[in-house]
Amino acid sequence: MSPTERWQAVMARDRRFDGAFVYAVRSTGIYCRPSCASRRPRRTQVTFFPIPEAAEREGFRACRRCHPADANGRDPLGALVREACRAIDAGATPPGDSRKVARAFKRILGITPRAYAEARRVARFKQELKRRKQVSPALYEAGYGSTSRVYERTHEQLGMTPATYARGGTGVEVVFVTVPSALGRLLVAATDRGVCRVMLGDDAAKLEADLRAEFDAAHVREEKGGKLEGYVAAILSYLEGTEPHLDLPLDIRATAFQRRVWQELRHIPFGETRTYAEVAKAIGQPQATRAVARACATNPAALVIPCHRVVRADGKVDGYRWGLERKKTLLEMEKNA
């Protein structure tokens, strides 16, 4: 199913697709069945996952109203992966042929069972950090054997040191500015390390609220000068067709898989496109087409990471976090620049 078809199923609350996929809402941190009777979210806040475990790997919680983890899908490979995920979460070895399980993981989730286990351990570590507020008890509860190992494995994915994350980002300063652009309101936010968010929308207040929700314990303030001025100028020049290469420093949280996808997207030349399958092949995981699509949908830095340059295999433009019309406008601008 394409993202558009999945969204139509969600809008129709179509029970026929319960178990076929789940949808997660970034603003609430919750994932649901397609038929969930909860209030429909904004399309820009929604990400789709093939199985509940994939949503949970990204930190989303199951809806208590529709209980999406209880829905049984008809895909036998999906069922195999779910069974293996439950075994890994319980600290056991997945049952069955290990090679078959590994192939199913790559097809459904785009990662290996080992990568899934590590991602779940990082997720547990993050939960324990928030609960305990101390690094040492959290790392042992999550299964890490030493402090050096946890810093090595988690610093990149947290986007900050574990101690800072335990304080909810307290002490991290995020500055932002919202300006008009050819695509509506443009919000650019940065830390002292680089750009951490680029967002597009129609409502500046909504963009700011989304930013503050993401960095809820950080010191978030509006600023119109400093490094932001240069970042914004570069992005606006790009939108005017005069700056084809947005080589700006980034400070973003990412899983190892997301980081590989986003790095590959930055290699797509201005004015060209790639299919999701071509990106998956370029990063060495040709079966991870759907996982590549999810990585594109969760891109935190629009334009700087040009996920708009990724299209369907048939060449059609589909699925863009900031709106399909904006994606079409961007591709047309690049084509004619």
307 flagged as catalytic: yes
Distance CA 191, CA 62 (A): 31
- Helices 76-89, 98-108: inter-axial angle, 10-degree rounding: 110
- Report phi then psi at 122, rounded to 5: -60, -40
* Catalytic residue selected from 32, 66, 85, 296: 32
Catalytically annotated residue among 63, 85, 296, 307: 307
Contact between 235 and 246 under an 8 Å Cβ cutoff? The reply is yes
Q: What is the DSSP string of 114-180?
A: HHHHHHHHHHHHHHHHHHH--HHHHHHHHT-S-HHHHHHHHHHHHTS-HHHHHTTTTT-EEEEEEEE
Phi and psi (nearest 5°) for 75? -80, 115
Active site residue 32: yes
Residue 185: its H or E element: strand 184-191
Query: What residues are annotated to the active site?
Result: 32, 307
